[in-house]
Amino acid sequence: MFHRKFLSKTVSNLTFAVRSPSCLSRTFSEKSTENDKIPEDSRETVVSKLLEESATFSEAKDTNWATNPYPETAPVNQQKQPEKEKVLPSDNSILLFPGQGVLKVGMVRDYLRFPRAKELFSIASEILEYDLLKLCLHGPQKQLDKTEFNQPATVVASLAALEKLIEERPRVLQTCRAAGGYSLGELTALIFSGAIDFESGIKLVNVRGKAMEAASEKSKQGMLFVYTRPDAKIHQVCKDAEAWARDLGVEEPVCRIAIYLYTQAKILAGNDEALRYVEENSSKLGLRKVTRLPVSGAFHTCLMEPAVEPFKNALNGTVIEEPRISVLSNHSVKRYRNQKDIRKGLLKQLVTSVKWEQTLQMLYTRPAGTPFPRTFDLGSGGQLRTILKNVNSKAYDWCYSI
């Protein structure tokens, strides 16, 4: 299987030693019962023996960037284990994976000089039953922009960018503490984390892309970037846009915040009529830089409900493991802990807002004066790096576009 060959290099370096506190309370309780039967003059000897044989371990706090990964062959005997080498936060790394809409024809060409990147496209093409690399290299762009093609292409292109990073910075696997995925990129991050193997990930994204494409064809819909002035009331704007669309004959109009980019920037999604209201009245609504995105669907809104059932069926047939690094859910902004979390989060993400600003805040929260890790923006053409600048300028200083 390809994932054993491709991901063995990736995830084997990301296996963490799980350390849990000793069950001292239970042990001490059992021995306390035995002590009741011991004569008074010998209890001091028993207590001394208990202290000598017992050990205490403090609860480990999850700091993501500060936890040092151990190789699979690391000893598990706590008492014989050598003292862990301290790793500076600035020596660690965070990987960011983009969502749909960033990929342009020819962007992947720079990654093809790395043999493993070519192999990714080859295996993906076999699963998808069309030449994915040819589409990425030669287009046409209109075809590449279609959801059912763009989603698999974006996932594979991002992992191809990862191959370039690994070749140029081999230690990135050992130093990676967390991965963040913007919208579709959340699935890419889970593949990288070892939670989902590569072949299964391609099958999932194939179903996801086709299901979302089909949902978007049920009505005229889309997505809109808006930059809000301080006086803008964005939630009221959405309500007014829905009322406008209803007056035009749309039975159940939708206009919602689909993605929280950063404080001033949002992406709205909904029916075409509602979005046209926002476009035509942007100035008086307190909005600037209003721009349509090159997508056909109102992603991350209830208009994607028809895509939930087919994607759910695909998820139920997929083997999912616990991620070996921290991956945050776009929906809950919490770390995925197990397969139940992942299945729930990936489904919720289809029809609820992507909290990207909140995800970045969570990834980079640290005590004052603590250095920031290196961040690598994989395959977005620098767009994720730009968003990071608007959320956390200090983290941006250590961010590199691959």
Looking at the annotation, which residues are catalytic? Answer: 183, 300
Distances 322 to 12, 71, 340 between C-alpha atoms, Å: 14, 17, 10
Is the bond preceding 294 in cis, omega lying within 30 degrees of 0?
A: no
On the CB side of 48, CA atoms within 13 Å amount to 5
Report the C-alpha gap between 15 and 70 in whole angstroms: 6
Q: Tell me the residue length of the chain.
A: 402
Residue type, 95: L
Residue 171, classed as helix, strand or coil, is: coil
Q: Do residues 91 and 371 touch, judged by C-beta distance below 8 A?
A: no
Locate 201 and state its tokens.
């990930």
Detail the DSSP E strand segments found in 243-394: 255-262, 265-271, 287-292, 326-327, 374-377
Locate 85 and state its tokens.
């080498």
Locate tokens 């640290």: which residue?
366
